[in-house]
Amino acid sequence: MAVLSISAAIVGFPLFLMFDPLAIFNGFFTIFSSEIKLVNIIVFSAFPVLLIVHLFLPGIWCARLCPLGGLQLVIADIKSHSKRIFNKKESESFTADSGRRYFLMSGFGLLTGLTIPKILKLSVENVIRPPASVETVLFNSLCTRCGNCNKACPTGIIIPHTDFSDILSWMTPEVSFESGYCLETCNLCSSVCPSGAITLFSVEAKCQLFMGSAEVRLDNCLLVNNRECVKCKESCKYEAIEFVAHNNLFNVIPVVDTKRCVGCGACAVICPEACIDIKPII
């Protein structure tokens, strides 16, 4: 499995991540932290299924399926073979069997990496990542799916990405503003990330870390309908929303300054008409 995963990754499909033990283990707990959906049930069941398989076929996961376990076996094979060569007692059968196995798995991995993305027709990622996240392709590879950022977020806006149409981002963290917004005084997600997928940043730097940008749907805005409201402007800690005259001096509309708006979601959460959306930066 390790050789297969590495070969698939060479051509751009990180198969290793689909079988990452941390992602499977962390997925078990997602059902307890969000509403119950079919996808959460599927993710939740992966870990119990592995335990059942291990019960009837002891060692099958670590020895044959787990990429981390497989990588250890590959290293052990290389080490053992190196000792045989060094001691001039190499075994031809060992070399032939190991080489044939690795050759076949490498070929299958390359074929998998080339064909699966085309078969699945993977969609372009359109999600909001935590602040200071690295670019998408690197993020999907670096993220260990450990769930640390999800647990550390004080407002609970970081959730696992569970969209089947974007399988490369499976179980990676994304931002949802249903429960709150990204606090301007917080950098916990970067502090607990073990892999660098979310780079470490200071609170003072948050005004320069763009997650997305706010968009106002004016049709539902209270100001456009001649009703008083200043909540979006008051909630913005980055002074990215201004009221601009529209049609006449007595009618103003909210305008977002995209050079200041970092996509924290404060305005979207507080808007009484829910007419503000946070769009990811593409």
Residue 75 maps to a domain: yes
Over residues 157-178, the pLDDT tens digits come to: 999 887 766 777 878 899 999 9
**Separation of alpha carbons 218 and 222, rounded Å:** 8
What are the tens digits of pLDDT across the range 184-202? 999 999 999 998 999 999 9
Residue 257 lies inside a defined structural domain of this protein: yes
**Could you count the other beta carbons within 10 Å of the beta carbon of residue 206?**
22
pLDDT tens for the chain, 282 residues long, are 544 555 555 445 555 566 666 667 666 766 565 566 666 676 667 778 877 877 887 776 666 666 665 556 666 666 666 666 666 554 444 444 555 555 555 554 445 554 555 555 444 557 899 999 999 878 887 888 888 898 899 999 999 887 766 777 878 899 999 989 999 999 999 999 998 999 999 999 999 999 999 999 998 899 888 888 999 999 999 999 999 987 765 778 999 999 999 999 999 999 999 999 999 986
The answer to the question of residue 236 being in a domain is yes
Residue 205: inside a domain: no
Q: How many domains does the chain have?
A: 2
Which of 99, 120, 141 is the last residue in one of the domains? 120
Question: What CATH number has the domain bearing residue 238?
Answer: 3.30.70.3270
| 182 domain residue, yes or no | no
Domain of residue 224 covers: 210-282
Q: Which amino acid is at 98?
A: S
The pTM for the full model equals 0.67
Q: What are phi and psi of 40, to 5 degrees?
A: -65, -35
What is the structure's pLDDT at 63? 63
Find the DSSP H helices in the chain.
2-10, 15-18, 21-27, 38-56, 60, 67-86, 92-120, 136-142, 148-152, 188-192, 231-235, 266-270
Total Cβ atoms within 10 A of residue 274 = 11
Which residue, of 65, 99, 120, is where some domain finishes?
120
